[in-house]
Amino acid sequence: MRLTHVGGPTLLVEVAGRRLLTDPTFDPPGRAYAFGWGTGSTKTAGPALAPADVLPVDAVLLSHDHHADNLDDAGRALLAEVPVVVTTASGARRLGDGARGLRDWQTTVLEAPGLPPLEVTATPARHGPPLSRRLVGDVVGFAVREAGADGGVLWISGDTVAFPGLRRVAERLRVDVAVLHLGGVRFPVTGPVRYSMTGREAAAVCRATGARVVVPVHHEGWSHFRQGREAAERDLAAAPEDVRRRFRWLDRGVPTDV
């Protein structure tokens, strides 16, 4: 499996002869975006690669469509160039154009001539504290594996806090590579409440899933992140050595085999 971190949550995944792209964000830096309910953010870093550098793409795995740090204007334009978009059920209704909407634990299959089918299963995600779904909207993670294969899955957490749904991921799936959205997001209007994982929570998720490799993403490039790589690594310094060594911080724009 080869991973290329484009920036933010955007990751090019090359697996089983496919090219998958997560949460496309390709706008340049400098613009402020409103997320609703008095929250928002400014993009502080642009992508390491342009859309032309990642195309062609076989499918986009979109954790949610309604926040610009996961799908900005340039990323939305890229969707027209992609044959399959997999996202939340509510997001698929908004996007239209044949987007495949999944609820937790539903599976869709990506098929291509001469290649093994790839199963994409939606996994639970909660983008905030208990009872926040009506405010922050639906979010989903993804587990990807070759149909019929015995190996573990690639699991992409999506924007989520650590909550009981992630324990169900650990119980139901054998995770090989975990792509975790970090950043410890907070907003002034909601005080200390967090909307994504910290390094400490990521270490706990690593232990729970037993992932061979953990790839942190979505911890830089936007003003609403409260914990970048340096702060997350301070959290990880308190974790056992066998957990720390599983974390792979990817250089942006550099294809990396995992």
pLDDT at 131: 79
pLDDT at 74: 98
Q: SS3 for 169-217, per residue? A: HHHHCCEEEEEEECCCCCCHHHCCCCCCCCHHHHHHHHHHHCCCEEEEE
pLDDT at 36: 85
pLDDT at 171: 96
Cβ-in-10-Å burial (0-12, 13-18, 19+) of 122 comes to buried
Could you report the average pLDDT of every consecutive run of 10 residues in the chain (258 residues)? 98 97 98 89 97 98 97 98 98 96 98 95 95 86 92 96 96 97 91 93 97 97 94 96 97 98
Among 28, 92, 45, smallest CA distance to 66 is for: 92
pLDDT at 141: 98
pLDDT at 179: 98
Q: How far apart are CA 148 and CA 170, in angstroms?
A: 20
pLDDT at 73: 97
pLDDT at 38: 82
Residue 250 main-chain phi, psi, to 5 deg = -85, 140
pLDDT at 181: 98
Residue 74 main-chain phi, psi, to 5 deg = -65, -35
Ramachandran sector of residue 9 (left: φ over 0; alpha: ψ -120 to 50; beta: rest):
alpha
Instruction: Print the domain residue range for 113.
Output: 2-257
Residue-wise pLDDT tens digits, 125-136: 999 989 788 788
Task: Please state the domain count of the chain.
Answer: 1
pLDDT at 146: 94
Residue-wise pLDDT tens digits, 81-108: 999 999 999 999 999 999 999 999 999 9
Give me the amino acid identity at 167.
R
The CA–CA distances, whole Å, from 25 to 51, 110, 179 equal: 9, 23, 17
Paired tokens of 116: 């093994």
Q: How far apart are CA 208 and CA 198, in angstroms?
A: 15
CATH at residue 212 = 3.60.15.10
